[in-house]
Amino acid sequence: MRRLLVSFTVLVASALGLCGPSPAHAQSQKDWNVCRNGDLDGRITACTRIIERGGSKLTARDRSSAYNNRAYAYNEKGQHALAIKDLDEALRADPTNGTAFNNRGYAFNATGNPDRAIRDYDEAIRLDAKNVIAWGNRANAYRKKGEYDRALRDYDEALRLKPGAADYFNARGNVFFDQRSWDRAIQDYDEAIRLAPKNAVYVNNRGNAYRNKNDHDRAIRDLTEALRLQPNYVTALINRAHTWYNKSDWDRAIADYDEAIRLDPRTASYHSFRGNAYRGRNDPDRAMRDYDEAISLDPRYAPAWQNRARIYVGRNDWTRAVGDLDEAIKLNPRDAASYNSRGYALRQRGDVDRAIADFDEAIRLNAREAAHFGNRGEAWRLKGDLDRALVDLGEALRLDSNLTPALASRGLVFEARGDLSRARDDFKAVLAAPNRTYLSGPWALQMARTHLAAIDAGVPPPAATTRPAGPPPVATPAAPSASVAIAPPPPPPAAVEPPAGRGTRVALVIGNGAYRYATGLPNPGNDARDVSRSLRSLGFDVVEGVDLDKHGMEARIREFGKKLDRADLALFFYAGHGLQVADKNYLVPVDAKLERAGDLALDTVTVDDVLAQMESERRVNLVFLDACRDNPLARSLASALGTRSTSVGSGLAAIQSAVGTMIVYATQPKNVALDGEGRNSPFTAALLKHIATPGLEIGAVMKRVRADVYQSTRQRQLPWDHSSLIGDVVLAR
């Protein structure tokens, strides 16, 4: 979606004449140029000056343009509420500004309000029926609502207006994929690939459509090509592994899951997928280790609980199976398969009434799954209610005539009623079934052989065991899933769950500038507030503090520490004074005096104090220290230390990060960073510009930050980082 938003600026420039305001009400040409084309923070500042200085002298058209361009910057920064507020003003000034309607629609859609977005896209299209971006964006909103026919009509129109747009062919293919219209989806992916043959996402999507069509060989070819185009494309690795899984080629599936986990070891679903493959290879112990790891990485990933429960089922450990399924249902109360599996385990534990209640719920949620009816039918048989058992087992076999556990159960019901002819037919059907599905297929086979032999021999049948009709198929990657299967509408985003940090994200953000015993710093308060807003838009639970004394800093660090236990990504950002003494780094609260050597421990907080809270072998940690400014308190401390003053260094000292940690400095170790002249420091301004870029890995983010700071400070400041991350970390999805 980001590239669509960039295009809005082009429309603004051509439709609204943003080369500058009318001569009669001219503001600074420089302000207009920056408002139109500057970086995000520059746009906000320049547009704000135009709005505030122009006042009533601005024409309605120019006022609308300034608000619209500032809103564009807010949208790019993920600050959609501020964007909506500005776009309201833009449209109040000029109700014919179609681009503003389009931008406001984008903001509403981004905040989860597709209905409101669609109303704005309607108006943008009414004002300009050739606005291809509005057609594409409205299609995306309709797709989000599940109104696929309307989404397709809008993509059709977008392609009529822009027939060479590969993104729109890919996006329309995604809608057909959602509708399970595999051939139509493949046709659109074909065209997208013809127009952009080196786009790995399009090739991956077509391969995934072939996989869901059960054309596994074509799927493998496409997914292998996607990996040739982009060797570390985890999405394609996962989808190819799923395809090997569908082919029951367990070893190749495991090899691809291994590689995906090597590239991204902290995504729980990948471990769960590999566990499924190990279970397919009949290695339940290895599968269990993967499910344990998935649950450890993300306790809120319900399929891992469900899949681990199946291991317990295979071991007849019904109590642990029920416990895991309780958790799966708590996390996803609309998952019919979990209710069915729990009902199965409860029935095996002898709690038939509770089992039936679970099967009732499974059927209410999904009445098309044969195993749900088969399991409830077997429960009714165990209770002796043979009439209800026959109704349910008949429905199960109507949905799947080869469901062998249901055939065996119905044979037992007929046998119990003395209808040996029908019982014989069902037992024979079990033996002849081409596909003995589900966990209890072997039970059904043994049951059918034993009872058929007794009927043919004319002897009393053996007592029927209470072995079940079986739980539903495991939650495997075979079923199409939007989170694993395809990329959302254009431009091509990630097609699977984001790499690191999908679970709980926690951040501590502190900005200290109002120093009581040293010259104040103008930026840190703004830096902290702006970083906090950006991180909240990225899903972080943020502990924020501005201008904190020693007690306040310690309290925020403790609060942060309490939130870390269930977090899989922790981030610490500090802006303000810092210093290093004997290669140890200290952060300076606003009430620090540092008049005596002994004040160092009493007045400051060490970086190590924060890192100690963050240490975890299973967590990704990101640390950003904009604390290398020229520090008068460091000079006073050096004076107090006398002959030991050489131990007080400029800037901060390098820190060797633990595994899974990246530590970022505003400038190189032992160098001094600049305060800057704008709202934010040069480092924080660059960080805010790039940290919310969708799909951009944190290493790439820092490369962009480094380049921006180096340029904006005229080569006087170069950010530096030390990383021991072992997988990709993407903050914006």
104-110 mean pLDDT: 93
**Mean pLDDT for the stretch of residues 180-204:** 95
pLDDT of 496 reads 32
Predicted local distance difference test score (pLDDT) of residue 652: 65
Predicted pLDDT of residue 594: 79
pLDDT per residue as tens digits for the range 121-179:
999 999 999 999 999 999 999 999 999 999 999 999 999 999 999 999 999 999 999 99
Task: Work out the average pLDDT over 383-391.
Answer: 93
Tell me the CA end-to-end span of the chain in Å, nearest whole number.
Answer: 10
pLDDT of residue 559: 87
How confident is the prediction for the chain on average, in pLDDT? Answer: 83
Q: Stretch 383-405: mean pLDDT, rounded?
A: 90
* Contacts for 438 with CB less than 8 Å, ≥ 6 apart: 371, 403, 404, 405, 469, 470, 471, 472, 473
pLDDT at 55: 72
State the Cα–Cα distance between residues 551 and 560, nearest whole angstrom: 14
pLDDT band at 676 (very low <50, low <70, confident <90, very high): low
Per-residue pLDDT, 442: 65
Q: What pLDDT band is residue 503 in, cutting at 50, 70 and 90?
A: low
Q: 460 pLDDT exceeds 50?
A: yes
Answer yes or no: are the C-beta atoms of 562 and 611 closer than 8 Å: no
So what's the pLDDT on residue 617? 53
Q: Is the pLDDT of residue 43 over 80?
A: yes
Higher pLDDT, 500 or 314: 314
* Contact assessment for residue 461 and residue 412, using Cβ atoms and an 8 Å cutoff: no
pLDDT confidence tier of residue 458, bands split at 50, 70 and 90: confident
Between CA 662 and CA 536 the distance in angstroms is 20
User: Does residue 339 register a pLDDT over 90?
Assistant: yes
**pLDDT above 60 (res 436):** no
Q: Which residues contact 594 (CB under 8 A, 6 or more apart)?
A: 588, 600, 603, 604, 633, 634, 636, 637, 640
The most confident of 25-34, 252-261, 711-720, by mean pLDDT: 252-261
The pLDDT tens digits for 446-457 are: 778 888 888 888
pLDDT band at 657 (very low <50, low <70, confident <90, very high): low
Spatial CB neighbours of 137, under 8 Å, sequence gap ≥ 6: 4, 102, 105, 106, 109, 117, 121
Residue type, 173: G
User: What is the mean predicted confidence (pLDDT) over 531-539?
Assistant: 87
- Beta carbons of 485 and 240 less than 8 angstroms apart: no
Distance CA 215, CA 256 (A): 19
Angle, helices 250-263 vs 234-246, to 10°: value is 160
Looking at residue 24, its pLDDT comes to 37
Summarised one tens digit per residue, pLDDT across range 679-723 is 899 999 999 999 988 778 898 899 999 999 988 888 888 888 888
Percentage of the residues of the chain whose pLDDT score is greater than 90: 54
Both tokens assigned to 659: 């595994």
Least confident of 173-177, 212-216, 239-243, 613-617: 613-617
Q: 8 with 133: CB under 8 angstroms?
A: yes
Is the pLDDT at 58 greater than 70? The verdict is yes
* C-alpha dihedral (200, 202, 204, 208), degrees to nearest 10: 180
733 vs 731 pLDDT, higher one: 731
- Predicted confidence at residue 590, as pLDDT, reads 92
Does the structure show a pLDDT above 60 at 260? yes
For residue 392, pLDDT over 60 is answered with: yes
**pLDDT > 70? residue 360:** yes
pLDDT at 487 over 50: no
* pLDDT score, position 73: 92
